[in-house]
Amino acid sequence: MVFQFLSSFFKSVDSPPVLPIVPINKCHPGVKTKFENVEKGSRLYLASNDDIDLLQSIEIRSGKTRITLDEICDLNKDGTPKYVTLEGELTIKTSNSSYKTRELTGFLYVTTRQQAENPTFLVHVIKDNATITTTASKTTVVILNTQLNSNSKNDKTPSKSSYVTDISQCSKDNLHFHWGVPSANWIDETGNQFFKTRMSLERYDLQAKLTDTTEIHFEHIEPLLIPLDYWYFIAEGPVEMTIENKYIPGQNYTTTSPNTTGLIVNDSMFKQLVVNFEHVENSTGLSGFYTSSRIEKPINVLMEHKFGIFYHNVDKIIHDQIVEWSPTKSKKLIITSSNTTPGSFYCQYFTLDADRLESENSEDIFKLEPNQKPSVFSSSPKIVAAFFFTDTSVTTVRRDPITNQVTTASASNPTIDPTGCKLGQIV
């Protein structure tokens, strides 16, 4: 992610770091790593649990300011991170050996001046665990992770990870998570969003016209494992949560409530992932998922319910958020790929009983005619789609939101999408 205010000039050798994130193991001994045109008034943070002696040997210069990294390594008494305000340029110099430099795991983060001056723009460095509380009507919180204490070079686990629990928020407010760090115009940026506590579920007719929108809110949230070096969230209204420096390996998870939402994030080696939903047999409700990805190889998302299995195929790089749902309770979610490194993807799953919906006409969502099965609806900025099933047939309708071009197809076999794709594939 490139900041307009940080077009940097780098004087060093191979793999130069690029602001706003600078891994300190990329700053080579004996060479000044220099960034020009850094905004005066921006802030520099350090996320590191590296040896304090090594941090003492790394010097930061900005205008008249000279410090070593050990001076901003610790947290303040209130748990907030220390920082240095920059004066229009940034130079980094280390006297550590090349070997010791390569062993470093921390990184620097530089904000914009606007972000530094904004009292509702917060930064937290997660060294152990932290309880984060916001009180403003809209707050941005950047999370910088440090190296996992249990991580070793031989592990195939991520080197940094957040474990988020005990999220508490008013049902009227929204909370959404984003990968990366905020850009200069971060308030309007939605392309990197991967989790939210409020969601709009759209229904369409056989002409792919919008017929109804159901607003849902998730009061119960599963513990969220986010194996990223850094990420941020935007809270609309007060929120409180606990974030730990923690990673829990495992490919199988069982939800803790029949009314819940959770998250799957893959940013490294891939293995098949399974979520088993706690549910009451024959209960009425809905379920679905919200995906966002930066993949290079195909992945498949499968939702299993009593009527069968619905497939969602992603076989190209997609940056758009796709919401896919059905008015039926799922038993299981499975994510598969034939590749061990398909790329980065994010999948928020959810399930709610009918009596938890806020819509006044929620009963209409679950009405089925004789021989009719629950439909599946999918929406994204690039495509909307609906799949209508009976015991003996399936009708698929898709519409391009930009051109409004509609395509419709039917088949007598309800397990095969008549467009020639796998059932439910979004193309």
pLDDT 10s digit of each residue in the chain, 427 long?
334 334 333 344 444 576 899 999 999 998 999 998 799 999 999 999 999 999 999 999 999 999 999 999 999 999 999 999 999 899 999 999 999 999 999 999 999 999 999 999 999 999 999 999 999 999 999 999 999 987 555 456 789 999 999 999 987 899 999 999 999 999 888 889 999 999 999 999 999 999 999 999 999 999 999 999 999 999 999 999 999 999 998 889 999 999 999 999 987 778 888 999 998 777 899 999 999 887 777 788 888 888 777 777 766 655 568 899 999 999 999 998 888 888 888 999 999 999 888 766 667 788 888 888 899 999 988 889 999 988 888 889 999 988 999 999 887 765 544 333 444 443 3
pTM of the model: 0.90
pLDDT reported for residue 418: 36
Burial of 107 (0-12, 13-18, 19+ CB in 10 A): buried
pLDDT reported for residue 416: 42
**Torsions phi, psi for 270 (to 5 deg):** -100, 135
Which of 424-427's residues contact partners 24+ apart within 8 Å by CB, and which partners?
A: 424/310, 424/311, 424/312, 424/313, 424/324, 424/376, 424/378, 424/387, 425/311, 425/312, 425/313, 426/312, 426/313, 426/314, 426/322, 426/324, 426/378, 426/380, 426/383, 426/385, 427/313, 427/383
Rounded Cα–Cα distance for residues 349 and 261 (Å): 6
Closest CA to 45 of 10, 27, 21, 61: 21
pLDDT reported for residue 419: 37
pLDDT reported for residue 414: 57
CB 32 within 8 A of CB 11: yes
